[in-house]
């Protein structure tokens, strides 16, 4: 199983994008004055386009280790190659312990400063466009719930494997999100 993982922060502050409006009447988008944030871990199954999602208060090695456990539970008994970046929370004793305890999980790190290589980045972009651009939500919990729901219910096809010569790779669906 080949998976791509990344993290995204979600703020109550709406991100802006173009929108239709009557000529001469610019649209109004509410502005939230705070910087309240929730964090998401997202892992894309490069064969099926399905997500394994975890909301977290922060990004650190312990939360990352918990997400790795979620990935291992979603794909029981299957060898996993996990592609991710060089974030500081992808290192540390908690991560080393999970990797040592689960030799079927192997990690391959993307080159430094190359988010364009990570297919999970496209998932974040599509989900923000569908959920958090120009949104009317007043509670971060509501926005986060809609964000997670979109990630879990939609497939995000990727041509990553085909582009790099893995066109005939077998798909394995996760047992849970």
Q: What is the CATH number of the domain that holds 47?
A: 3.30.420.10
**Rounded Cα gap, residues 5 and 88, in angstroms:** 14
Q: Using 50, 70 and 90 to split pLDDT, how confident is the model at 19?
A: low
Query: What residue numbers bound the domain in which 7 lies?
Result: 2-17+26-163
pLDDT of residue 126: 93
Owner of token pair 């992808």: 90
In a domain, 170, yes or no: no
- The pLDDT of residue 107: 97
| Total number of domains in the chain | 1
Q: Within a domain: residue 172?
A: no
What is the helix (H) or strand (E) element at residue 146, kind and residue range? helix 140-153
Does 36 fall in a domain? yes
Tell me, yes or no, whether 79 lies in a domain: yes
This prediction has a pTM of 0.83
Q: 135 pLDDT band (50/70/90 cuts)?
A: low
Q: Indicate the angle between helix axes 93-101 and 61-74, nearest 10 degrees.
A: 20
> Does residue 173 fall inside a structural domain?
no
């Amino acid at each position: 199983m080949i998976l791509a993982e990344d993290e995204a922060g979600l703020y109550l502050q709406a991100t802006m994008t173009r929108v239709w409006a009557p000529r001469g009447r610019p649209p109004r988008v509410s502005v939230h004055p705070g910087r309240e944030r929730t964090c998401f871990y997202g892992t894309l199954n490069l064969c099926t386009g399905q997500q394994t999602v975890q909301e977290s208060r922060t990004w650190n090695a312990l939360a990352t280790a918990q997400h790795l456990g979620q990935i291992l539970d979603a794909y029981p008994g299957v060898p996993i190659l996990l592609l991710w970046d060089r974030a500081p929370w992808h290192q540390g004793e908690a991560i080393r312990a999970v990797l040592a305890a689960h030799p079927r999980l192997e990690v391959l790190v993307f080159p430094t400063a190359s988010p364009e290589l990570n297919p999970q980045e496209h998932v974040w972009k599509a989900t923000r466009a569908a959920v958090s651009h120009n949104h009317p939500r007043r509670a971060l919990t509501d926005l986060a719930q809609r964000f997670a729901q979109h990630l879990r219910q939609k497939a995000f096809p990727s041509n990553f494997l085909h582009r790099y010569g893995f066109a005939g790779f077998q798909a394995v669906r996760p047992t849970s999100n």
